[in-house]
């Protein structure tokens, strides 16, 4: 299990054992390079900590801990966390501002504490078998310590429907994602249930004027970027040329002694998805030390390397160029800031604009709504507006997923009505309005897809990725504001644009959102694509016992013959799953060989 995580921390490794408890840690040394070794044990020998991540406010927490008698031996955030947990236990967790997955062993009480940061920025997987509890930062580590991989049928259905698996499920039976914003304890009496210590704020509770809200947001943005530059090693930023990464770069430039190191990705011969000209414009404007990494036109043929890097299947082709970007950035820096979270916190997606319109329509008198709805559909654009009005985020998700669900049921040989409900969706059904949609996105696709993509690709390259736009203070502030501060006149991120209007060129401030995508449809349809054909019609998927091999073959043939009902996105999901299964099997073979040699 320890060795399976070597890429996450190549600088140091150590293990700790105490009877029934064992902890192992792979360190990527960023803060207090000499003193921050883990596992870290308290001076009295009672508590031992391992944690992955960063506590950005650890310096401000120290004076109160020192006043209570803790004598610090290092300058690391790990020791601040150890002290806080040793003195206050889980009650210390709400005071932390950072990204973390942690385990604390109490040798006196023979009790283990597990916890994960509020937004799920850092991953944590758990598996329990009777009284035994195993946990790790990656699914692959738990699979390395298991007898084999058994696919979870409900999670496979979820993956094929949405392109990723919603928590707490994972693709592997018997292994779960530990929920963000929770903690649990385990001791001789058993394994406790996860206890929530943080929730997404319920919604607007104050109405600030635009000037005051803009000024406060600017303060919080500056504080988030400044705090997340904490470290004793070189730092950089992933700069796409979009609003979010550009504003992070601009603020980083204000707090950096020299030129900021920026990295962007370009695509040879694929201008429709190449944004390097915008990234380079921002670099010139801010005077950064910029590097553009060019991805070859045939990048999709390298999908097996993406499957190997992925800890769990996620059908997002952007993972591949992100992996290229991380590998190249790691040659110059040890951690990067990114713009992830901007859309989910500030309202940047089409569905957020539509949710705001729905919220507005629901406030109108009943007699006026039928007249206002056609106007909203004409004024807005895209499928989200054509679908108005849908009751809440659950209805939006169901509407988007319907065609993939039908295809998944057919591929798995399940009846049409089987698994029609989504168990993970239940907590979000009461949500309404824009804040409800933002809360839904923050806790589903943000936590289980986007953050996983960033963490796993960066850490595969031994590079730490930080997300200042998901600073807890920013999130809580934006959820305290009304919807009009986020969407106005069918434009998303209204207040964010106002808050940084003096930092960036106008063309960046007014750009429409441009997804970081690769065009997969033609590649999937190409009959000469042996990788796709072999993976989907070979024995990997049928060999799981879940798939109907005949249905997969017919579906791929229909897709390549141009049948309109055959969806290339669905077949891309199948392909990623097949490649991931092959990669996971190879990883288990390598592990078994190493154990044999030992």
pLDDT tens by residue, the chain, 598 residues:
888 899 999 999 999 999 999 999 999 999 999 999 999 999 999 999 999 999 999 999 999 999 999 999 999 999 999 999 999 999 999 999 999 999 999 999 999 999 999 999 999 999 998 889 999 999 999 998 777 899 999 999 999 999 999 999 999 999 999 999 999 999 999 999 999 999 998 766 667 899 999 999 999 999 999 999 999 999 999 999 999 999 999 999 999 999 999 999 987 765 555 678 899 999 999 999 999 998 887 788 888 888 888 889 999 888 888 999 999 999 999 999 999 999 999 999 989 999 999 888 888 998 898 888 888 888 777 778 877 887 788 888 888 888 899 889 888 888 776 545 688 988 888 888 899 999 999 999 999 999 999 999 999 999 999 999 999 999 999 999 999 999 998 889 999 999 999 999 999 998 877 665 567 888 888 888 888 888 887 778 888 889 888 888 888 889 888 887 788 999 999 999 999 999 988 888 887 777 777 7
**What confidence score (pLDDT) does residue 10 get?**
95
**What confidence score (pLDDT) does residue 273 get?**
58
How far from the centroid of its chain's Cα atoms is residue 139's Cα?
A: 15
Which position has the token pair 């840690």?
25
Domain borders along the chain are 3-124+178-196, 210-346+442-509, 350-439, 521-597
Closest CA to 355 of 343, 368, 340: 343
Rounded CA separation 150/148 (Å): 7
- Cα atoms in the 13 Å half-sphere on the side-chain side of 527: 5
Dihedral of alpha carbons 560, 562, 568, 570, sign: negative
**What confidence score (pLDDT) does residue 540 get?**
85
Closest CA to 35 of 95, 82, 1: 82
Rounded CA separation 452/447 (Å): 7
Rounded CA separation 440/579 (Å): 30
User: For the whole model, what pTM was predicted?
Assistant: 0.95
- The maximal CA–CA distance of the chain, rounded, in angstroms, is 77
Q: At what angle do helices 393-411 and 433-443 cross, to 10 degrees?
A: 40
**What confidence score (pLDDT) does residue 42 get?**
98
| Equal CATH topology for 3-124+178-196 and 210-346+442-509 | no
Backbone angles phi, psi at 288, to 5 degrees: -85, 165
- Fold of the domain built from segment(s) 3-124+178-196: 3.60.20
The CA-CA-CA angle for residues 27, 28, 32, to 5°, reads 90
What is the CATH architecture of 210-346+442-509?
3-Layer(aba) Sandwich (3.40)
**What confidence score (pLDDT) does residue 514 get?**
66
**What confidence score (pLDDT) does residue 518 get?**
66
* Backbone Cα Rg of the chain: 24
Which phi-psi region, left, alpha or beta, contains residue 241 (left: φ > 0; alpha: ψ -120 to 50)? left
**What confidence score (pLDDT) does residue 517 get?**
58
Whether omega before 168 lies within 30 degrees of 0, making that bond cis, reads yes
The DSSP secondary-structure symbol of 542 reads G
Closest CA to 459 of 102, 6, 12: 6
Rounded CA separation 366/188 (Å): 59
Asked if residue 469 lies in contact with residue 220, where contact means CB atoms within 8 angstroms, the answer is no
């Amino acid at each position: 299990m320890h060795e399976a995580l070597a890429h996450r921390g190549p600088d140091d490794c150590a293990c700790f054992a105490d009877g029934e408890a064992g902890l192992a840690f792979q360190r990527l040394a960023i803060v207090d390079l000499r003193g921050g070794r883990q596992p870290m044990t308290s001076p009295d020998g009672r508590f031992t900590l391992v944690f992955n991540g960063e506590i950005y406010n650890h310096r401000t927490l120290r004076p109160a801990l020192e006043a209570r008698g803790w004598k610090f031996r290092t300058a690391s955030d790990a020791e601040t966390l150890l002290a806080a947990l040793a003195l206050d236990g889980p009650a210390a967790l709400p005071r932390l501002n950072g990204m973390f997955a942690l385990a604390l062993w109490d040798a006196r009480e023979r009790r283990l504490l597990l916890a994960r940061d509020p937004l799920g920025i850092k991953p944590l997987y758990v598996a329990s078998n009777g009284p035994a509890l195993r946990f790790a930062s990656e699914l692959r580590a738990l699979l390395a310590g298991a007898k084999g991989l058994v696919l979870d049928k409900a999670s496979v259905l979820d993956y094929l429907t949405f392109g990723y698996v919603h928590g707490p499920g994972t693709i592997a039976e018997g292994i779960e994602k530990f929920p963000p914003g929770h903690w649990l304890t385990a001791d001789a009496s058993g394994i406790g249930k996860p206890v929530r210590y943080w929730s997404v704020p319920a919604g607007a509770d104050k109405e600030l004027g635009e000037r005051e809200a803009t000024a406060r947001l600017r303060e919080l943005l500056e504080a988030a970027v400044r705090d997340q530059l904490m470290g004793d090693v070189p730092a950089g930023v992933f700069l796409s040329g979009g609003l979010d990464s550009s504003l992070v770069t601009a603020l980083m430039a204000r707090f950096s002694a020299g030129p900021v190191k920026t990295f962007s990705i370009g695509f040879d011969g694929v201008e429709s998805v190449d944004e390097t000209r915008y990234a380079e414009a921002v670099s010139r404007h801010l005077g950064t030390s910029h590097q553009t990494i060019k991805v070859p036109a045939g990048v999709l043929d390298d999908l097996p390397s993406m499957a190997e890097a992925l800890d769990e299947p996620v059908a997002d082709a952007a993972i591949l160029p992100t992996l290229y970007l991380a590998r190249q950035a790691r040659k110059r820096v040890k951690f990067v800031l990114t713009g992830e979270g901007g859309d989910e916190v500030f309202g940047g997606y089409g569905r957020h604009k539509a949710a705001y319109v729905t919220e507005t329509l629901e406030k109108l008198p009943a007699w006026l709504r039928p007249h206002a709805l056609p106007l909203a559909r004409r004024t807005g654009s895209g499928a989200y507006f054509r679908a108005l009005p849908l009751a809440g985020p659950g209805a939006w998700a169901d509407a988007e997923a319907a065609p993939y669900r039908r295809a998944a049921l057919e591929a798995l040989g399940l009846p049409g009505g089987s698994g029609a409900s989504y168990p993970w969706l239940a907590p979000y059904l009461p949500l309404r309005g824009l804040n409800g949609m933002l809360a839904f996105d923050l806790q589903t696709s943000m936590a289980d897809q986007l953050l996983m993509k960033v963490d796993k690709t960066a850490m595969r390259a031994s590079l730490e990725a930080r997300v200042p736009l998901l600073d807890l203070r920013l999130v809580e502030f934006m959820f305290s504001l009304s919807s009009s501060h986020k969407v106005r006149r069918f434009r998303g991120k209204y207040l964010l644009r106002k808050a940084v209007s003096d930092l960036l060129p106008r063309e960046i401030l007014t750009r429409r959102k441009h997804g970081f995508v690769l065009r997969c449809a033609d590649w999937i349809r190409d009959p000469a694509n042996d990788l796709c054909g072999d993976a989907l019609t070979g024995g990997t998927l049928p060999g799981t016992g879940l798939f109907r091999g005949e249905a997969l073959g017919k579906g791929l043939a229909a897709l390549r013959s141009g049948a309109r009902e055959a969806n290339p996105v669905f077949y891309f999901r199948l392909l990623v799953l097949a490649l991931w299964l092959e990669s996971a099997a190879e990883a288990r073979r390598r592990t078994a060989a190493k154990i044999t040699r030992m």
